[in-house]
Amino acid sequence: MATPLILEGKCWKFGHNIPTDLITPTHITLRSIPEMAKHVLETANPDFPKEVQPGDLIVAGRNFGCSSGRAIAPKAIKATGVSVIVAELFARTFYRNGHEIGLPLLEAPGVHDLVETGDRLRVDIVRGTVENLTSGKRIQGTPPPDFLLEMLEAGGLIPLLKAGSRFFPEAESQE
């Protein structure tokens, strides 16, 4: 289940400093991931969980996914079918978690002002580019390092470990 790394779709735009508390609020954290997906980001935009379609994209400002490092936050977003999140900057734990679960993420400073909700975008993770197909504007972001790209292409950390990786020779054998 290799993860596609060139994504095209309709954009949902969010602001700066969206914490995991707004992605998966406390009162839904013990539910199943598909149940959480029905409420994901609803406080930031009540229409989002109701109307998001598989293949849609998210664009956000600085520090997307700050606060708790709960991996259920990117998992709930992925469960909606969102194919990629582009942000000015991700919180470290969210960035790590996203790659570990096989959700493409791209850091692209300036992207927040480049798009509006509803625009069609094309994102190339390997090249690090974001193209706004609606406005014709284009921006260069920072592609993930090779190690995270390999993890992403494999579909996440667990599939990568099962397939084997030059980065994890030690993990092959039990201690």
Partner 1 sequence: MNMIEKILARGAGKKHVSPGDVVVAKVDLMVMHDLSSNFVMRVFETEMENASICDPERIAFVFDHNFSPATQQAAEALAAVRRFAARHGIHKVFDGGHGSVHHVIIENGLWAPGQIIIGCDSHTPIYGALGVFATGVGNNSMAALGFAHGRAWFRVPETMRVLFHGQAQAGVTPRDVAQHLVGRLGEDGAVYKAVEYAGPYMEAMEIEDRILFPLMSIDIGAKCGYVNPDEKTLAFARARSAAKDFEMPVNDADVIYCDTLEIDVSTLEPQVACPPTVGNVKPVGEIAGVKIDVAEIGGSTGGRLCDLRTLAARLKGRHAAEGVRLQVVPASRAIYREAMREGLLETLFDAGANIFPPSAGSNQAFNMGALAEDEVMISTQARNFPGRNGHPKARHYLASAETVAASALAGKIADPR
Among 62, 120, 122, 137, binds partner 1 (CB under 8 A): 62
Q: In what order do the strands lie in the sheet with 129-132?
A: 105-107, 84-87, 57-60, 6-13, 120-124, 129-132, 138-140
Q: Chain-centre distance of CA 156, in angstroms?
A: 12
Among 34, 158, 163, 164, binds partner 1 (CB under 8 A): 158
Which is closer to partner 1, CB of 141 or CB of 156?
Answer: 156
Binding mask 63-82 for partner 1 (x = CB under 8 A): x--xxxxxxx----------
Q: From CA 13, how far away is CA 111, in angstroms rounded?
A: 10
Instruction: Look at the block and give the residue holding tokens 């998966």.
Output: 24
Nearest-approach distance from CB 115 to partner 1, in angstroms: 20
Binding mask 8-37 for partner 1 (x = CB under 8 A): ---------x-x-xx--xx--xx-------
Segment 80 to 119, residues that bind partner 1, using CB under 8 A = 89, 91-93, 96-97, 100-101
170 binding partner 1? (CB under 8 A): yes
Strands annotated E in the chain: 6-13, 57-60, 84-87, 105-107, 120-124, 129-132, 138-140
Q: From CA 96, how far away is CA 113, in angstroms rounded?
A: 25
Binding-site ranges for partner 1 (CB under 8 A) = 17, 19, 21-22, 25-26, 29-30, 43, 62-63, 66-72, 89, 91-93, 96-97, 100-101, 145, 147, 156-158, 161, 167-168, 170-171, 174-175
